[in-house]
Amino acid sequence: MTVRALWLLVAVNALVLALLGVCSALTGPFERAARQAVYGAEVKVAVHSDVQEVVLTGGGASGQPLSLFLDGRLRVSGNDDCRYHEALVHPAMAGPHRRVLVLGGGDGLAVREVLRYPDVASVTVVEEDAAVLRLARADRDLVALNGAAYRDPRVRVVTADAFDWLRSSRGQEAGPYDVVVSDLPDPGVTPSAKLYSQEFYGLVTRSLAPGGRLAIHGGDLSARPHTFWTVDATVRSVGLATEPYRVMAPPARDTRRQDWGLLLASRSPAPLRLPEARPALRTLTPHRLRRLAWAAERGRQPSPPPSTLMHPRYGEP
């Protein structure tokens, strides 16, 4: 190699290194700008965990409600979290509820509602994403929203995939539970399909005590009704009776998630009701719960085939 060629090679390498340095320096501002375009200007926490991107916005002195996004999807809105979590949890508490299992729900908000019953003896939370759990324990605004649920000595946390844990010997030996709350990501998200499969609900059913009840978040009923009714059919395929109901958030306050489809399931048909001895609720009354059930039944679709690990049905028209 000639001296001239050698110097040319050195110059090219230097140019490449300089470009890499510039790109590295611009990555931070670019990511911040991209997040602000998606989430607004009040991004307070943004982390990439081993599972997903976790973003917290608002809260504190921002004057905006605290919101939790997982992979760009709104998971918690401080404006309307009670509307969703009260409806998800309290109908399932109408009966024995000393031992409760929460699948997902690492933000601690479903746990908050469970702990409002003083006769609950233990709550086991199975959450895959350790980053969400850290935020729920350490972020001041999220701790305030979840009522410091993870400081309650009745709560035990397992960091694991819900399907794998239920299938493991540890998961099988941990039951049975009077109440299981499935507060998992939307079934329309591909990695979550197994958590809404026939096999998954078979595992959950094995963990239920006699007379136990299962509460399920089944996705956005307005945007993806076929998905919700597939969840319903899949739960019924393992021998559980279901009671569907829906909760709608005011559009002006929450334009990203306006409709939640929920299911209450049990081995034998159980009426959808609230416990007689219940804490004061902000958004849910017996009359309103009956209306939520009527709203879901009004939109019932013909029963689709259940979703299985071999034949996932979510995402089909």
51 near 131, Cβ under 8 Å?
Answer: yes
What is the four-CA torsion angle of 82, 50, 190, 203, rounded to 10 degrees? -70
Annotated binding residue 90 = no
* Distance of alpha carbon 181 from alpha carbon 88, whole angstroms: 8
191 labelled ligand-binding: yes
Does 270 belong to an annotated binding site? no
From 141, 178, 183, 254, active-site residue: 183
Active site residue 183: yes
Q: How many residues does the chain have?
A: 317
- Rounded to an integer, what distance in angstroms lies between the CA atom of residue 59 and that of residue 144? 10
With 0-12 / 13-18 / 19 or more C-beta atoms within 10 angstroms meaning exposed / middle / buried, residue 48 is exposed
* Residue 233 CB-half CA count within 13 A: 18
At 208, is the secondary structure helix, strand, or coil? strand
The answer on whether 199 is annotated among ligand-binding residues is no
Is 85 marked as binding a ligand?
Answer: yes
Distance CA 222, CA 163 (A): 27
Residue 64: count other Cβ atoms within 10 Å of its Cβ. 16
Which residue in the block uniquely carries the two structure tokens 């470009």? 19
Q: Which residues contact 119 (CB under 8 A, 6 or more apart)?
A: 97, 98
If you count DSSP H runs as helices and E runs as strands, how many of each does the chain have, helices first? 10, 11
Structure tokens at 155: 């709560």
41 is in an annotated binding site: no
Within 8 A by CB and 6+ apart from 302, the residues are none
198 marked as binding residue: no
| Assigned token pair, 235 | 């739960």
Tokens of 251: 């559009």
**Are the beta carbons of 79 and 253 closer than 8 angstroms?**
yes
Residues annotated catalytic, as ranges = 183
Give binding residues as ranges. Answer: 52, 85, 107, 127, 161-162, 191
Give binding residues for spermidine as ranges. Answer: 85, 107
Give binding residues for S-methyl-5'-thioadenosine as ranges. Answer: 52, 127, 161-162, 191
